[in-house]
Amino acid sequence: MIRQRYRLKHKIGDALYGSVCACEDTYNDNELVAIKQVSLELATTLLAVHPNADNPWHERRAITKLLALPPHPNIVHFHQEFLHNESWFVVMEHCPEGDLWDRVRGSPNGRVPEREALRLFRQVTLGLHFLHTNGIAHRDVSLENVLLRDGVCKLSDFGLATDAERTCADTVGKANYMAPEVVAGEVYAPVAADMWSLGIVLFILLTGSPLVYRASEKDNDFVAFLQLGVRRVVKAWNMASFISEDACKFVSTLLQRDPSQRLMTPDLLSHPLLN
C-alpha cells in the first residue's frame, strides 16, 4: 500500500528508530508529505536499555487521539498512521522550513527580536493549549520540536506524550528544558512541567541561549537564577537594552520553581503581551 500510494522524493533525516522521508502522495495530487518510519524491533531493544527515551507506543496513542480531532494550525497535521512489516509509519504534513532552533540560529545576533519572539511564542502556546485541552501533555516542548511551515509554528514529536491528567515520575525531555521537579525525580504534573519548558522556549527565543544546562539545585547557574530572577539574569548577560521588563516578567510567570505558581495556557493567551 505504501509503495502504491507514496512516491519517495528524498530523505529528510534520521529519527531515533528509523528515518523521515519526503514523499509525494499520488492519491492526493502529488501533495508533498513527510513519512516517518519507526522500526518497532529497534524501539523495543533501545527502550529495554533506555526506558525514558521516546516511546513510539506512547506517540501512537497521542497521534491516534489527534487524528480523531479537527486539525489545529499549530500542531503538525497527521494524515494517517499504520503498521507494515514490523514498522510503524506516520504520514504527516511536510514542514520544509526547519524548526524554531534553526530560526533562532539564523537570526541576526543569534536571537529573535522581542516582538517577533512573542508572535512565534503565541503560536506555540496555542498549539500546547489545544493539546492540554484535549487531554494530552507533551513532555518534550522545545525549540527543536516546533516545526515551521509558511512561517507558522507547529508542535511536533509526541514520543514522550502522556495523559494530561496523570501524575508522572520519569525523568524525560531535553536537559535544558526540563522542569526542576522533573530533574529532581519528584512526582510531577506533566501539564505544569510543559509550562516550564514553554517558558524556556520563550527565554531562548529572546536571548538565544538556554537559561541553565539543567534546572537542578546542584547546578550553580540554576541556584543563581532562583536568587536573581529573569530580569537580573538578562541584565547580567548585557541584554536588558533589547528585552523589555514586561517580557522578563512574562517569562518569570512560567519559570517558577513551584509548579502550582506557573501560569497555564489560558492565562498566557489572555495576557496583554500576547494580544
- pLDDT, tens digit (0-9, with 9 covering 90-100), for 185-210: 999 999 999 999 999 999 999 999 99
Looking at 59, 93, 127, which one is the last position of a domain?
93
| Burial environment of residue 248 by CB neighbours within 10 A (0 to 12, 13 to 18, 19 or more) | buried
| Residues 118 and 234 both lie in one domain | yes
| Residues 186 and 217 both lie in one domain | yes
Per 3-state DSSP, the chain is made up of helix, strand and coil in percentages (nearest 5) of 45, 20, 35
| Residues 89 and 104 both lie in one domain | no
**What's the pLDDT at 1?**
63
| Exposure string over 15-24, b if 16+ CB within 10 A, otherwise e | bbbbebbbbb
pLDDT in tens, the chain (275 residues): 677 899 999 999 999 999 999 999 999 999 999 999 999 999 999 999 999 999 999 999 999 999 999 999 999 999 999 999 999 999 999 999 999 999 999 998 999 999 999 999 999 999 999 999 999 999 999 999 999 999 999 999 999 999 999 999 999 999 999 999 999 999 999 999 999 999 999 999 999 999 999 999 999 999 999 999 999 999 999 999 999 999 999 999 999 999 999 999 999 999 999 99
Q: Which amino acid is at 52?
A: N
Looking at 59, 76, 93, which one is the last position of a domain?
93
| Residues 61 and 179 both lie in one domain | no
| Residues 83 and 109 both lie in one domain | no
Can you tell me the distance from the alpha carbon of 151 to that of 156, in angstroms, rounded to the nearest whole number? 15
Can you tell me the distance from the alpha carbon of 194 to that of 182, in angstroms, rounded to the nearest whole number? 10
Per the structure, the count of domains in the chain is 2
Residues with active-site annotation: 140
Domain that holds residue 64: 2-93
Looking at 54, 77, 93, which one is the last position of a domain?
93
- Give the H/E segment covering residue 46: helix 40-49
Q: Which three cell numbers stand for residue 28?
A: 492526493
| Residues 15 and 72 both lie in one domain | yes
What is the domain-level CATH number for residue 37?
Answer: 3.30.200.20
What is the domain-level CATH number for residue 173?
Answer: 1.10.510.10
Q: Which three cell numbers stand for residue 95?
A: 514542514
| Residues 125 and 191 both lie in one domain | yes
**What's the pLDDT at 3?**
75
| Residues 122 and 11 both lie in one domain | no
Can you tell me the distance from the alpha carbon of 201 to that of 209, in angstroms, rounded to the nearest whole number? 10
| Residues 47 and 154 both lie in one domain | no
| Residues 144 and 226 both lie in one domain | yes
| Residues 73 and 139 both lie in one domain | no
Q: Which three cell numbers stand for residue 262?
A: 506557573
| Residues 110 and 33 both lie in one domain | no
